[in-house]
Each structure stands twice: as structure tokens, then as C-alpha cells.
A and B are shown apart, each in its own frame.
Chain A
């Protein structure tokens, strides 16, 4: 049982270069990319650290929201005038006005898209999330932290490797209230 126990190690690196080297090294000693996570205080791209491409649903969610927004705009512009039991005429303008529907469709499409983009961040990142999490406050000081998930047996090996690659500190990660 103890052999299969999973431990999380949190290594803090001062800069990009040693962190990237460490990731490369970890991979060479058999740690899979999926078992690593990077925590940083600035948006470090995957390419900088030689990490696999990160999947994000945001563009799809945005597109979906845009379609929903367009649908809402369509409903407003083309359906609602018919819901009122008596057709309302204003001036000699056509019952469903042409150019104004473009305005309505545009605004609601954009609203749908931007709202869903915003909500997409919440969905994709599991926000809001106030449970205890593995974190070191140093990352907001510009440090780069690598969170490695490995079996109990590998712990020593990984710790040594990380220290060798220039980690400022390597310690078992504990979930804490942020």
C-alpha cells in the first residue's frame, strides 16, 4: 500500500531557465508531463518551459456564447414583435425593421460572447474555489514553482534532481488555505 502512495513535491525556482531545465530533467528521469504543473506569477507560456500545449475551452465557450447571444438577439428582433397579440405599427416602418435588427443582433451576440468568455474562465479554472490548495506565496514574487506528483518511492530521486537543477527549496506540498 505504502509503495503506491502518491506524494506531491513543490519546488521553487528563481527563474525561467532553471525551471525549464528541471522540467526537461524530470522528464528524462521518467516523470510524465501530466504529473507536473507549473505555478507562476506571470503568464509563462508552455513553449518557454517546453511543456505540452495547454488545452483551453475558452474559444469554444465564447463561440457557443456568441451563438446563444445571436439566438437571444434573433428572439428579440424577430420573435418578440409577434408575441404581443396585436401587431404594433410605428410610423410607416416595416413591422420587423431591417437595419435595427442588425444592431440588436450585434449587441446581443457580443454580450453573449463576452459573458460566456468570462464564465468560461470560471468553468475552465474551477473558479471560485476556496478549498485548500497546494501553493507557495513566493510565486507572486516572480518565482516559478513546479508541482510534481510522484510515487513515494520516487520522492528522493525527484527531490535530488530538483535540488541539483537549482531549486531554491523542495518540500512536500501541503494543501493550505490561500
Chain B
């Protein structure tokens, strides 16, 4: 009799259950759609401003966006909860293998999808293959009006024309916290730091932390039964959990 182990089914299951390292929980029920996260992200990560015309034509470059939907026909419309959408830091990311230049790769240490800006040649295959459509491309060398250049974050590269970029889960903050903890000879404590979007959210709808630590707030929240992961059926193993109608 062949057992499951003989059929190597266990390995497949393991891959599906594989958890990431860093994760996020977003509660759509308390999201007010105030866009504070969008602004905070842009400032933290030196995201450029594309202006009205390009933004209206789908070239906005926000790493996080608030998606608004409604149900029904006007005037009988009903708003559905706002849906903040950002890079899901997939465990099985479809964007990664398709880059011919190795500009988007998987970080083994942090279990994140990295984007290497200066390796990017701009084929835009990764963005095309991202089911969440969260990658933004530098369509032009957008000008930052004064005094915006004064608030550049020195920890983050400024991207120029022809380069793909996306949410990094504020990897500069992760590294800063890790360096600090290391110099003090301890582990990073849950809640010690958070991403710019989570920090800015007035409703605390975004919670960031270690998903591989069962005691962390993000893991505790993630256990709620009404949590969903977007487009999970594609097997992308996303690391962001959404709550809606809880």
C-alpha cells in the first residue's frame, strides 16, 4: 500500500502551508478611506508625484492605494468597505521568475519580494504578471516641486525613469530595527517598529509584524475566522490578510 509519504504529497502540502516572515493584517471594516497611509507611504519611500493628467490615466505610482467599490446601479448605490491594496509580499510570487535581469528576487532572510531598482531594465513583465496590480512604473522623470525634494528619506533610493518599483514593507525600517536590536543584543520586539502606512493609519486598520511568531499581534489577529487573503486561489501565498464584514 502506497502511503501519502510515498506519493510525496506531504511535500506539496508543506509548500502550501509555508508561512512568510513579515505580514500584515488590514481591517477593511474600520478603514475610513482617509488616504493617510498613501501619503505616509509616499513620504517614507520617496514615491514620486505624477500629477493629475498622468494619475488620471492610470499612472499613479502609489505603493499602497485605497480601492473603493460600490454595488448596485445609481442612485441605489451601496458603498462596500474600502480596500487598501499593496504588495502582498507573496511567498510564491509570480512577479519574480519572469524578470530576465534578476531585478525582482526573493529575499531568503526576510521572506520579502525585493525590487532591485538599479538592475531593472524596464521590461515591465513583473507588473504584467502581478495579479494584484500593485507595481508602479516610472513612466517619466517626474519633477518634484519645491519644497518636496527637502523631505527625501535618505534611507530609500530615489528612482528614476524606466524603473519598476513597489511596496517593500518598509524594509529600511525593518533593517533599522534589526540593527538596533542587534547592537543591544536582543531580538526585535513585536510592535517596536511598524511600516509607514500602519503608523499613519488613524483607525489602526493596518497591523504589521512577524507572522512566523504566534505571539505577535499580527498572528493573533490573523487567526480570526473571517480573514481572507486576496486571490489565494492562484497559489501566490500572499502575506497580507484582510478582514471584511466581521
The interface of chain A, by Cβ under 8 A from chain B, is 87-93, 97
Contacts and interface: CB of A to CB of B under 8 A. Distances in A.
B108 A91 contact: no
Contacts of A92: 15, 18, 91-92, 237
Task: Bin chain B's interface residue count.
Answer: 10 to 19
Contacts, number: 28
A91 B99 CA distance: 11
Interface string B83-101: 0000000111110110100
B105 interface: yes
Interface of B: 15, 18, 90-94, 96-97, 99, 102, 104-106, 108, 237
A91 B102 contact: no
Contacts of A88: 102, 105
10 contacts: A87-B108, A89-B106, A90-B96, A90-B97, A90-B105, A91-B92, A91-B97, A92-B92, A92-B237, A93-B97
Contacts of B106: 89-91
Given A88-B105, A90-B93, 20 more contacts: A87-B108, A88-B102, A89-B105, A89-B106, A90-B96, A90-B97, A90-B99, A90-B102, A90-B104, A90-B105, A90-B106, A91-B92, A91-B93, A91-B94, A91-B96, A91-B97, A92-B15, A92-B92, A93-B97, A97-B97
A89 B99 CA distance: 12
